[in-house]
Amino acid sequence: MPGSWETLLCELRDDIAVVTLNRPERLNTMNLSMREELWECLTSIREAGDARAVILTGAGAAFCAGGDMNDFVGRSPEEMHLLMRERSHRWFRALWELPLPTIAALNGVAAGGGANLLLACDFVLASERAKIGETFIKVGLMPDLGGLFLLPRTVGLHQAKALCLTGELIDARRAHELGIVHELTSQEELIPRSLILGRQLAAAPAQAYAATKALLNRSFELSIDELLAQELFAQSFLFSTDEHQARLESFLSRDGAPPPAADGG
């Protein structure tokens, strides 16, 4: 699973894949190479099957200061359409749909596309020096990479409008109050704490985690009837898995444990 990347570092710590954006001299801005390598790296993690959780972080002083605009100067709308679809949407969907726990370890500024990189993760841990901002408006652009989908679902429509239409950089404490950041920590404890959380999540039943994440990701776009139908299909399958059987036996073997509800709920 660890590969040779120009713009990323990827290592396996036990069963946790730690992916580090590695352009510190450019504040880890995403150039075309990084966008392609993110997709390749996330795809390789999924296909290799030896990681049970993923941590994303940045090298140096920043998490990711957005896109490297040097790659887009002078391009036509048609060229930009193709580049965004082939180089950006692919990695975003690979991360959003990854059937593993994903943790953004926010070590510094996350601006523009960097803010939406962390929103695509399941959990966000942030050091107290981190800052987050949908800064696209400051360069005459709108949020992309799923930001207009993810941010209002995280903070509510009016807060999302305030952040997107002003381009304000907010500190980690404010992001925690808004629900973007799950936990604040010191810079020194950011990666150790992320690894602890990663190991806790890695111990969860993988198939149940993947099914739950997949339906939560779609829960705002499905009707209740559609969601119940997909829930029924997934839950029926999960009842037959070895993971469920092993954990059910362990649960029933505990002294004094009440019997589980007939429907599993």
Residue 252's pLDDT band (boundaries 50, 70, 90)? confident
Share of the chain above pLDDT 90, in %: 82
Instruction: Say how many residues make up the chain.
Output: 265
- On whether the CB atoms of residues 22 and 31 are closer than 8 A, the answer is no
Query: CA-CA-CA-CA torsion for 61, 200, 175, 212, nearest 10 degrees?
Result: 120
- On whether the CB atoms of residues 130 and 172 are closer than 8 A, the answer is yes
Give me the pLDDT at residue 1, please.
57
Query: What value does the CA radius of gyration of the chain take, rounded to a whole number of Å?
Result: 20
Say which residues have a Cβ less than 8 Å from residue 11's Cβ, sequence separation at least 6: 2, 17, 18
Mean pLDDT for all residues in the chain: 92
Does residue 87 register a pLDDT over 90? Answer: no
The pTM of the full predicted model, rounded to 2 decimals, is: 0.90
Does residue 255 register a pLDDT over 70? Answer: no
